Copies of this chain bind each other. A is one copy, B any other.
Amino acid sequence: MRLRDVGEFGLIERIAGAIARSGGSQTAMRQVVVGTGDDAAVLRPPRGHHVLISTDALVEGVHFRWRTQSPRIVGERALLVALSDLSAMGARPLACTVALAAPPSLELSRALGMARGLGAVARRAECPLVGGNVTRAPVTSLTVTVLGSAPRGRFLSRSAARPGDGLFVTGELGAAGLALGRSERRGKRLSRLPPLRLQAGLGLAGLPSRGACIDISDGLLADLGHLLQASGVGAELAVASVPTPTGFFGACRRLGLDPVRTALTAGEDYELLFTLRPGGPSPRALGRRLGVTVTQIGRITRRPGLRLQGDAKRHAVGASAKGFEHF
Protein backbone atom coordinates (compact mmCIF):
# COMPACT_ATOMS: atom_id res chain seq x y z
CA MET A 1 0.00 0.00 0.00
CA ARG A 2 1.27 3.46 -0.92
CA LEU A 3 0.49 6.99 0.25
CA ARG A 4 -1.72 7.62 -2.77
CA ASP A 5 -3.93 4.70 -1.68
CA VAL A 6 -4.88 6.27 1.67
CA GLY A 7 -5.08 10.00 0.81
CA GLU A 8 -3.91 12.97 2.86
CA PHE A 9 -6.38 12.68 5.72
CA GLY A 10 -6.13 8.88 5.80
CA LEU A 11 -2.35 9.26 6.09
CA ILE A 12 -2.61 11.78 8.93
CA GLU A 13 -4.96 9.42 10.79
CA ARG A 14 -2.63 6.43 10.34
CA ILE A 15 0.43 8.45 11.39
CA ALA A 16 -1.37 9.54 14.56
CA GLY A 17 -2.21 5.88 15.22
CA ALA A 18 1.40 4.74 14.67
CA ILE A 19 2.70 7.42 17.03
CA ALA A 20 0.13 6.46 19.66
CA ARG A 21 1.11 2.78 19.44
CA SER A 22 4.81 3.66 19.79
CA GLY A 23 4.05 5.41 23.06
CA GLY A 24 4.53 8.94 21.71
CA SER A 25 1.05 9.98 22.82
CA GLN A 26 1.72 8.86 26.41
CA THR A 27 4.40 11.52 26.67
CA ALA A 28 3.94 13.89 29.60
CA MET A 29 1.15 16.07 28.22
CA ARG A 30 0.66 18.45 31.14
CA GLN A 31 2.10 21.31 29.07
CA VAL A 32 -0.18 20.62 26.10
CA VAL A 33 -3.48 22.53 26.19
CA VAL A 34 -4.51 21.67 22.60
CA GLY A 35 -2.57 19.00 20.65
CA THR A 36 -3.04 17.89 17.05
CA GLY A 37 -6.30 18.44 15.19
CA ASP A 38 -6.79 22.21 15.37
CA ASP A 39 -5.25 25.00 13.26
CA ALA A 40 -2.40 25.32 15.77
CA ALA A 41 -1.32 23.52 18.95
CA VAL A 42 -1.59 25.40 22.24
CA LEU A 43 1.12 24.98 24.90
CA ARG A 44 1.57 26.11 28.49
CA PRO A 45 5.30 26.79 29.10
CA PRO A 46 6.41 26.73 32.77
CA ARG A 47 5.85 30.05 34.54
CA GLY A 48 8.74 32.49 34.16
CA HIS A 49 10.45 30.43 31.47
CA HIS A 50 11.78 31.49 28.09
CA VAL A 51 10.63 29.51 25.04
CA LEU A 52 13.25 28.11 22.63
CA ILE A 53 12.72 27.03 19.03
CA SER A 54 14.86 25.22 16.46
CA THR A 55 14.17 23.61 13.06
CA ASP A 56 16.02 20.81 11.25
CA ALA A 57 15.37 18.84 8.07
CA LEU A 58 16.34 15.37 6.82
CA VAL A 59 16.08 14.92 3.06
CA GLU A 60 16.14 11.59 1.16
CA GLY A 61 19.30 11.32 -0.94
CA VAL A 62 21.03 14.03 1.13
CA HIS A 63 20.72 12.98 4.79
CA PHE A 64 19.46 9.42 4.36
CA ARG A 65 18.98 6.68 1.80
CA TRP A 66 16.32 3.97 2.00
CA ARG A 67 18.96 1.47 0.84
CA THR A 68 21.03 1.95 4.00
CA GLN A 69 18.58 3.23 6.63
CA SER A 70 15.37 1.83 8.03
CA PRO A 71 12.32 4.13 8.17
CA ARG A 72 12.30 3.85 11.96
CA ILE A 73 15.93 5.03 12.19
CA VAL A 74 15.12 7.97 9.89
CA GLY A 75 12.23 9.02 12.14
CA GLU A 76 14.25 8.63 15.33
CA ARG A 77 17.15 10.51 13.81
CA ALA A 78 15.00 13.45 12.62
CA LEU A 79 13.80 14.21 16.14
CA LEU A 80 17.14 13.41 17.85
CA VAL A 81 18.99 15.86 15.60
CA ALA A 82 16.49 18.62 16.39
CA LEU A 83 16.58 17.84 20.13
CA SER A 84 20.38 18.12 20.03
CA ASP A 85 19.94 21.88 19.49
CA LEU A 86 17.86 22.09 22.67
CA SER A 87 20.54 20.11 24.55
CA ALA A 88 23.17 22.59 23.38
CA MET A 89 21.06 25.47 24.74
CA GLY A 90 20.47 23.73 28.07
CA ALA A 91 16.70 23.66 27.49
CA ARG A 92 14.00 21.14 28.39
CA PRO A 93 11.72 19.91 25.53
CA LEU A 94 8.21 21.37 25.44
CA ALA A 95 6.77 19.95 22.19
CA CYS A 96 7.57 19.28 18.53
CA THR A 97 5.93 19.47 15.11
CA VAL A 98 6.88 17.55 11.97
CA ALA A 99 6.36 18.39 8.30
CA LEU A 100 6.43 15.28 6.12
CA ALA A 101 6.93 15.69 2.38
CA ALA A 102 6.80 12.52 0.29
CA PRO A 103 5.99 11.17 -3.18
CA PRO A 104 2.53 9.56 -3.55
CA SER A 105 4.39 6.36 -4.48
CA LEU A 106 6.05 6.10 -1.03
CA GLU A 107 5.15 2.85 0.69
CA LEU A 108 2.78 3.50 3.57
CA SER A 109 4.89 1.18 5.75
CA ARG A 110 7.84 3.56 5.36
CA ALA A 111 5.80 6.59 6.42
CA LEU A 112 4.45 4.69 9.42
CA GLY A 113 7.93 3.38 10.29
CA MET A 114 9.21 6.97 10.42
CA ALA A 115 6.21 7.95 12.55
CA ARG A 116 6.93 5.11 15.01
CA GLY A 117 10.57 6.22 15.25
CA LEU A 118 9.53 9.81 15.93
CA GLY A 119 6.98 8.65 18.49
CA ALA A 120 9.51 6.52 20.36
CA VAL A 121 11.98 9.41 20.68
CA ALA A 122 9.16 11.84 21.55
CA ARG A 123 8.27 9.57 24.46
CA ARG A 124 11.86 9.04 25.59
CA ALA A 125 12.59 12.79 25.50
CA GLU A 126 9.17 13.79 26.91
CA CYS A 127 8.64 15.96 23.85
CA PRO A 128 5.05 15.45 22.63
CA LEU A 129 4.34 15.70 18.89
CA VAL A 130 1.58 18.34 18.73
CA GLY A 131 1.12 18.98 15.03
CA GLY A 132 2.56 19.03 11.58
CA ASN A 133 1.92 19.05 7.90
CA VAL A 134 1.90 16.50 5.09
CA THR A 135 2.49 17.36 1.46
CA ARG A 136 3.41 15.79 -1.84
CA ALA A 137 7.03 16.21 -3.03
CA PRO A 138 9.44 14.41 -5.41
CA VAL A 139 11.50 12.90 -2.53
CA THR A 140 10.80 12.17 1.12
CA SER A 141 11.82 14.70 3.76
CA LEU A 142 11.08 15.29 7.44
CA THR A 143 11.33 18.83 8.82
CA VAL A 144 11.15 18.80 12.61
CA THR A 145 10.65 21.88 14.78
CA VAL A 146 11.29 21.51 18.50
CA LEU A 147 10.15 23.87 21.22
CA GLY A 148 11.87 23.95 24.58
CA SER A 149 11.81 25.97 27.76
CA ALA A 150 14.46 27.28 30.13
CA PRO A 151 14.27 29.46 33.25
CA ARG A 152 14.82 33.11 32.27
CA GLY A 153 18.53 33.87 31.88
CA ARG A 154 19.53 30.26 32.53
CA PHE A 155 20.27 28.89 29.08
CA LEU A 156 23.51 28.18 27.20
CA SER A 157 24.76 29.95 24.07
CA ARG A 158 27.62 29.76 21.59
CA SER A 159 28.78 33.24 22.44
CA ALA A 160 29.62 32.94 26.15
CA ALA A 161 33.22 31.58 25.92
CA ARG A 162 35.90 33.71 27.62
CA PRO A 163 39.71 33.58 27.53
CA GLY A 164 40.90 31.18 30.23
CA ASP A 165 37.87 28.86 29.94
CA GLY A 166 38.60 25.15 29.68
CA LEU A 167 37.31 23.45 26.49
CA PHE A 168 35.43 20.16 26.95
CA VAL A 169 33.46 17.58 25.04
CA THR A 170 30.89 14.97 26.12
CA GLY A 171 31.18 11.31 25.07
CA GLU A 172 33.44 10.29 22.17
CA LEU A 173 33.97 11.63 18.67
CA GLY A 174 34.40 9.86 15.36
CA ALA A 175 31.85 7.05 15.68
CA ALA A 176 29.42 8.73 13.27
CA GLY A 177 32.16 9.27 10.67
CA LEU A 178 33.27 5.66 11.06
CA ALA A 179 29.71 4.35 10.65
CA LEU A 180 29.28 6.46 7.53
CA GLY A 181 32.56 5.12 6.14
CA ARG A 182 31.39 1.53 6.80
CA SER A 183 28.10 2.27 5.06
CA GLU A 184 29.72 3.93 2.03
CA ARG A 185 32.61 1.52 1.56
CA ARG A 186 31.12 -1.78 2.75
CA GLY A 187 27.40 -1.17 2.07
CA LYS A 188 26.55 -1.71 5.76
CA ARG A 189 23.20 -0.37 7.00
CA LEU A 190 23.43 2.84 9.01
CA SER A 191 21.88 2.14 12.39
CA ARG A 192 23.84 4.53 14.61
CA LEU A 193 21.69 7.22 16.22
CA PRO A 194 22.67 10.61 17.66
CA PRO A 195 22.82 10.50 21.47
CA LEU A 196 20.25 12.32 23.61
CA ARG A 197 22.22 14.86 25.66
CA LEU A 198 19.29 16.75 27.20
CA GLN A 199 20.28 15.88 30.78
CA ALA A 200 23.87 16.94 30.08
CA GLY A 201 22.73 20.28 28.64
CA LEU A 202 20.43 20.94 31.59
CA GLY A 203 23.26 20.04 33.98
CA LEU A 204 25.67 22.44 32.24
CA ALA A 205 23.12 25.28 32.25
CA GLY A 206 22.83 24.87 36.01
CA LEU A 207 26.59 25.22 36.70
CA PRO A 208 27.85 28.52 38.17
CA SER A 209 31.03 27.98 36.08
CA ARG A 210 29.13 27.55 32.81
CA GLY A 211 30.59 29.09 29.63
CA ALA A 212 29.57 28.52 25.98
CA CYS A 213 28.04 25.39 24.40
CA ILE A 214 27.33 24.06 20.90
CA ASP A 215 26.44 20.61 19.57
CA ILE A 216 28.85 18.91 17.16
CA SER A 217 26.81 18.44 13.99
CA ASP A 218 29.27 19.69 11.32
CA GLY A 219 32.44 18.22 12.90
CA LEU A 220 34.53 19.24 15.90
CA LEU A 221 36.70 21.76 14.05
CA ALA A 222 33.81 23.40 12.19
CA ASP A 223 31.60 23.73 15.27
CA LEU A 224 34.50 24.88 17.43
CA GLY A 225 35.03 27.53 14.74
CA HIS A 226 31.39 28.64 15.12
CA LEU A 227 31.73 28.83 18.90
CA LEU A 228 34.99 30.82 18.71
CA GLN A 229 33.57 33.23 16.15
CA ALA A 230 30.35 33.81 18.12
CA SER A 231 32.37 34.41 21.31
CA GLY A 232 35.12 36.52 19.68
CA VAL A 233 37.91 34.38 21.14
CA GLY A 234 40.50 31.78 20.01
CA ALA A 235 41.46 28.31 21.28
CA GLU A 236 44.22 25.79 21.64
CA LEU A 237 43.10 22.24 20.90
CA ALA A 238 45.11 19.25 22.13
CA VAL A 239 44.48 16.85 19.26
CA ALA A 240 45.73 13.78 21.13
CA SER A 241 43.23 14.32 23.94
CA VAL A 242 40.14 14.16 21.71
CA PRO A 243 38.24 11.08 22.98
CA THR A 244 37.47 8.34 20.44
CA PRO A 245 35.73 4.96 20.86
CA THR A 246 37.74 1.82 21.75
CA GLY A 247 39.30 0.28 18.66
CA PHE A 248 38.60 3.43 16.63
CA PHE A 249 42.10 3.87 15.12
CA GLY A 250 42.32 0.29 13.88
CA ALA A 251 38.77 0.31 12.52
CA CYS A 252 39.44 3.55 10.61
CA ARG A 253 42.65 2.22 9.09
CA ARG A 254 40.96 -0.98 7.92
CA LEU A 255 38.51 1.21 6.00
CA GLY A 256 41.26 3.46 4.64
CA LEU A 257 40.06 6.40 6.76
CA ASP A 258 42.45 8.76 8.57
CA PRO A 259 41.39 8.36 12.24
CA VAL A 260 42.47 11.82 13.45
CA ARG A 261 40.86 13.52 10.49
CA THR A 262 37.68 11.46 10.99
CA ALA A 263 37.45 12.34 14.70
CA LEU A 264 38.10 16.04 14.11
CA THR A 265 36.12 16.74 10.96
CA ALA A 266 33.42 14.09 10.36
CA GLY A 267 30.11 15.53 11.51
CA GLU A 268 26.97 14.06 13.07
CA ASP A 269 28.42 12.90 16.40
CA TYR A 270 25.99 15.26 18.17
CA GLU A 271 28.05 15.42 21.34
CA LEU A 272 28.22 18.71 23.26
CA LEU A 273 31.28 20.95 22.92
CA PHE A 274 31.42 23.44 25.80
CA THR A 275 33.59 25.73 27.90
CA LEU A 276 33.76 26.22 31.67
CA ARG A 277 35.24 29.04 33.73
CA PRO A 278 38.35 27.95 35.70
CA GLY A 279 37.70 26.49 39.14
CA GLY A 280 34.66 24.42 38.20
CA PRO A 281 34.25 20.68 38.85
CA SER A 282 36.79 18.16 37.49
CA PRO A 283 35.81 16.37 34.23
CA ARG A 284 35.28 13.21 36.28
CA ALA A 285 32.94 14.84 38.81
CA LEU A 286 31.16 16.73 36.04
CA GLY A 287 30.71 13.52 34.03
CA ARG A 288 28.94 11.88 36.98
CA ARG A 289 26.64 14.89 37.24
CA LEU A 290 25.85 15.01 33.50
CA GLY A 291 25.44 11.26 33.04
CA VAL A 292 28.11 11.07 30.29
CA THR A 293 31.91 11.08 30.19
CA VAL A 294 33.50 14.53 29.95
CA THR A 295 36.99 15.17 28.53
CA GLN A 296 39.02 18.37 28.48
CA ILE A 297 40.43 18.87 24.97
CA GLY A 298 41.86 22.39 25.14
CA ARG A 299 41.40 25.91 26.38
CA ILE A 300 40.05 29.26 25.20
CA THR A 301 42.55 32.03 24.41
CA ARG A 302 42.33 35.79 23.92
CA ARG A 303 44.38 35.40 20.72
CA PRO A 304 41.88 34.69 17.91
CA GLY A 305 42.04 31.63 15.68
CA LEU A 306 42.39 27.93 16.41
CA ARG A 307 45.80 26.40 17.15
CA LEU A 308 46.02 22.62 16.93
CA GLN A 309 48.56 21.05 19.28
CA GLY A 310 49.82 17.71 18.02
CA ASP A 311 49.98 16.02 14.65
CA ALA A 312 46.92 17.52 13.00
CA LYS A 313 48.81 18.90 10.00
CA ARG A 314 50.00 15.43 9.09
CA HIS A 315 46.35 14.41 8.71
CA ALA A 316 45.47 17.22 6.28
CA VAL A 317 42.88 18.44 8.72
CA GLY A 318 43.27 22.11 7.88
CA ALA A 319 41.68 21.95 4.45
CA SER A 320 38.44 20.45 5.74
CA ALA A 321 38.18 22.42 8.95
CA LYS A 322 35.08 24.12 7.57
CA GLY A 323 33.07 20.92 7.90
CA PHE A 324 30.12 20.01 5.74
CA GLU A 325 28.51 22.65 3.53
CA HIS A 326 25.22 21.95 1.83
CA PHE A 327 25.73 23.65 -1.55
Residues of B within 8 A of A157 (CB): 34, 38
Is residue A41 contacting chain B, with contact meaning CB distance below 8 A? yes
Which one of B3, B8, B9, B59 lies within 8 Å of A137 (CB-CB)? B59
> Other than the known A6-B327, A55-B99, what 6 A-B pairs have Cβ atoms closer than 8 Å?
A38-B159, A39-B89, A40-B52, A59-B101, A99-B99, A134-B326
| Interchain CB contact under 8 A, B215 and A57 | no
A176 to chain B, nearest CB (A): 18
State in angstroms the CA–CA spacing of A8 and B159 once bound together.
21
Q: Which of B38, B61, B230 makes the CB contact (< 8 A) with A37?
A: B230
Q: Decide if A53 is an interface residue (CB 8 Å cutoff).
A: yes
- Chain A 257-286, CB within 8 Å of chain B: the 1/0 string? 000000000000000000000000000000
Shortest distance in angstroms between A152's beta carbon and chain B's nearest beta carbon?
Answer: 8
Chain B hits for A215, CB < 8 A? 39
Some 16 contacts from A to B, beta carbons below 8 A apart, are: A33-B50, A39-B84, A39-B88, A40-B85, A41-B52, A41-B53, A42-B52, A42-B155, A55-B99, A55-B132, A55-B145, A56-B133, A59-B136, A99-B143, A143-B143, A147-B147
Residue A112 CB within 8 A of the other chain: no
> Bound complex: CA of A175 vs CA of B139, how far in Å?
32
Residues 155-167 of A, flagged 1 when their CB comes within 8 A of B and 0 if not, give 1011100000000
B137 near A40 with CB under 8 A, answer no
- CB within 8 Å of B: which of A138-181? 138-139, 141, 143, 145-148, 150, 152, 155, 157-159
Specify which of B7, B40, B59, B230 is in contact with A325 (CB 8 Å cutoff): B7
Residues of B within 8 A of A150 (CB): 42
Contacts of A131 in B (CB 8 A): 53-55
Asked whether A97 lies within 8 Å of B145 as measured between CB atoms, the reply is yes
Q: Which of B40, B44, B101, B146 contacts A86 (CB 8 A)?
A: B40
Measured in the bound complex, the distance between the Cα atoms of B40 and A148 in whole Å is 9
The distance in angstroms between the C-alpha atoms of A144 and B58, with both chains bound, is 15
* Contact of A327 with B91 in the complex, beta carbons under 8 Å: no
For residue A63, CB closer than 8 A to chain B, the reply is yes
- Measured in the bound complex, the distance between the Cα atoms of B99 and A63 in whole Å is 15
Chain B residues with CB under 8 A of A95: 53
Check A38 against B97 for contact (C-beta < 8 Å).
Answer: no
Cα distance A104–B62 in the bound complex, in angstroms: 12
The contact of A62 among B133, B137, B326, by CB within 8 Å, is B137
Contacts of A242 in B (CB 8 A): none
Chain B: which residue is nearest A103 at the CB level?
Answer: B327
Pick the contact of A55 from B33, B133, B141, B152 — CB < 8 Å? B133
- Of B11, B38, B50, B94, the residue contacting A42 (CB under 8 A) is B50
**Min CB distance, A296 to chain B, in Å?**
22
Which A194-249 residues have a C-beta within 8 angstroms of B? 213-215, 230
Whether a CB of chain B sits under 8 angstroms from the CB of A45 is: yes
Q: Which residue of B lies closest to A12 (CB)?
A: B326
Tell me the nearest residue of chain B to A43, going by C-beta.
B51
Going nearest first, the 3 A-B pairs with the smallest beta carbon separation are A40-B54, A8-B326, A39-B88
- Cβ-defined partner of A327 (8 Å) among B8, B43, B84, B159: B8
